[in-house]
């Protein structure tokens, strides 16, 4: 009688565990289906969703999870773990509180700053940013904030930064695996091609022209042999600083020789990589390549009349769609 009671108790536990597991699977399945329809371009989670869609290995795991294939219990459990991990990452994106990208106005600099690694009075009037967010953390970081400066004129986009940072004794081959300043300049959300500029303190800068899409990052080396970018980097007692002048003519939307004008819009991401720790003046989710986190930068002219011009270099319909998505969420 005693053994029969124990057997019944164990059987009830197994049935309860199976029912609980089935409920969890149904919850995961419903969430994935919801994400496929709810996550749209401009949503912070779309960066991951766009990378999940073309993955054949993930599709196979999803089909196993859906019981479309006859597999062993071990394989089914592995597929369940994979889908659970995917859902956990997507939930972070869905819960990310910064639903709208930062929108800033970029001052016109009547006198170009000298690119010598010494950030002085020649940067007067530039846009200054000193907020600091760690990657994947929506709250401001508790650390000495990097100081960024930005400006523009008819030929150049100017950038500078001064950082307290830990510089490794040995410089890694990939600057983003050590310490460096990193800039992304994207002239159009529709085009999706941007310049990725890296300024490490202990080696020459690295400039990449990349297309960031659902298939990953593609570099176009033939476009970056002679960029015309001027830069200077200097070590400091507690870190480093850099200055750079990027010619507008190398940006995809300006390669026909058309000069930039007040009212036009660029998209910018700025990142300090501090010994593999990522910090940005803008809230940053998942990766520094996430375009939903790029700041919208409006070029402003030397007078208010120029400031009211609208840009013809971005897609106003896509911007309105993005705003509607944020309003719905």
Residue scoring higher pLDDT (119 or 321): 119
pLDDT of residue 219: 66
pLDDT of residue 34: 74
Residues 76 and 134 reside in one and the same domain: no
Residues 151 and 256 reside in one and the same domain: yes
Residues 58 and 180 reside in one and the same domain: no
Across the range 151-177, mean pLDDT stands at 91
Band (pLDDT 50/70/90 cuts) for residue 225 is low
65, 94, 123 - which closes a domain: 94
Q: How far is Cα 50 from Cα 326, in angstroms, rounded to an integer?
A: 18
Q: Are 45 and 32 in contact (CB under 8 A)?
A: no
- Taking each helix axis from N to C end, the angle separating 56-65 and 2-38, rounded to the nearest 10 degrees, works out to 140
How many domains would you assign to the chain?
A: 2
Six token digits for residue 314: 């971005």
pLDDT of 295 over the 90 cut: yes
Three-state secondary structure readout of 147-184: EEEEEECCCEEEEEEEEECCCCCCCCCCHHHCCEEEEE
pLDDT of residue 44: 87
DSSP 291: G
Residues 318 and 252 reside in one and the same domain: yes
Ordered DSSP codes for 100-152: S--EEEEPB-SSPPP-SS---GGGTTSEEE---EETT-SSBPSSPPPEEEEEE
94, 126, 150 - which closes a domain: 94
Range of the domain at 265: 103-328
> Considering Cα of 44, then 84, then 213, then 148, what sign does the dihedral take?
positive
In this predicted model, what pLDDT tens digit does every residue of 252-280 receive, in sequence order? 888 778 889 999 999 999 999 999 999 99
pLDDT of residue 115: 96
Six token digits for residue 88: 């956990």
CA angle (25 as vertex; 20, 28 as ends), nearest 5: 130
DSSP 100: S
94, 124, 150 - which closes a domain: 94
Residues 16 and 160 reside in one and the same domain: no
Lowest mean pLDDT, pick from 58-67, 178-187, 195-204: 58-67
Name the one residue in this structure whose structure tokens are 């919801």.
Answer: 34
pLDDT of 47 over the 50 cut: yes
CA distances to 24, 25, 42, 58, 226 from 282, rounded to whole Å, are: 35, 36, 15, 31, 30
CA-based nearest residue to 27, from 92, 91, 78: 91
Residues 149 and 79 reside in one and the same domain: no
Residues 54 and 144 reside in one and the same domain: no
Residues 82 and 175 reside in one and the same domain: no
Within the chain, where are the H helices? 2-38, 46-52, 56-65, 73-95, 304-307, 316-328
CATH assignment of the domain containing 125:
2.60.40.1190
CA angle (87 as vertex; 50, 70 as ends), nearest 5: 95
Residues 264 and 126 reside in one and the same domain: yes
Residues 189 and 220 reside in one and the same domain: yes
pLDDT of 22 over the 80 cut: no
Estimate to the nearest angstrom the gap between the alpha carbon of 194 and the chain centroid: 12
Across the range 123-132, mean pLDDT stands at 94
Name the one residue in this structure whose structure tokens are 């941007």.
Answer: 194
> Kind and range of the H or E element at 145?
none
Residues 300 and 200 reside in one and the same domain: yes
Residues 19 and 126 reside in one and the same domain: no
């Amino acid at each position: 009688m005693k053994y029969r009671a124990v057997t019944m108790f164990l059987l009830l536990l197994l049935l309860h565990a199976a029912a609980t597991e089935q409920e969890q699977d149904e919850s995961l399945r419903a969430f994935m289906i919801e994400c496929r329809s709810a996550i749209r371009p401009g949503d912070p989670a779309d960066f991951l969703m766009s990378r999940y869609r073309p993955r054949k290995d993930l599709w196979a795991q999803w089909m196993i999870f859906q019981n479309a294939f006859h597999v062993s219990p071990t394989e089914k459990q592995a597929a369940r773990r994979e889908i659970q991990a995917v859902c956990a990452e997507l939930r972070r994106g869905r819960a990310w509180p910064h639903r709208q990208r930062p929108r800033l106005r970029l001052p016109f600099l009547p006198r170009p700053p000298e690119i010598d690694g010494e950030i002085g009075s020649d940067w007067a009037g530039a846009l200054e940013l000193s907020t600091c967010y760690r990657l994947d953390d929506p709250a401001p970081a508790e650390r000495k904030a990097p100081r960024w400066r930005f400006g523009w004129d008819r030929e150049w986009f100017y950038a500078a930064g001064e950082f307290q940072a830990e510089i490794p004794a040995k410089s890694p081959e990939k600057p983003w695996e050590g310490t460096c300043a990193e800039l992304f300049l994207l002239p159009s959300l529709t085009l999706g091609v941007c310049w990725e500029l890296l300024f490490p303190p202990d080696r020459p800068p690295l400039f990449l022209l990349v297309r960031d899409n659902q298939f990953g990052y593609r570099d176009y080396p033939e476009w970056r042999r002679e960029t015309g970018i001027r830069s200077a980097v200097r070590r400091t007692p507690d870190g480093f600083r850099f200055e750079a002048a990027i010619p507008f003519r190398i940006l995809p939307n300006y390669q026909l020789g058309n000069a930039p004008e007040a009212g036009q819009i660029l998209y910018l991401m700025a990142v300090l990589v501090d010994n593999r720790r990522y910090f940005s003046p803008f809230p940053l989710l998942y990766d520094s390549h996430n375009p939903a986190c790029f700041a919208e930068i409006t070029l402003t002219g030397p007078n208010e009349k120029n400031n009211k011009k609208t840009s013809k270099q971005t897609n106003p319909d896509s911007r309105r769609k993005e705003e509607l998505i944020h309003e719905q969420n």
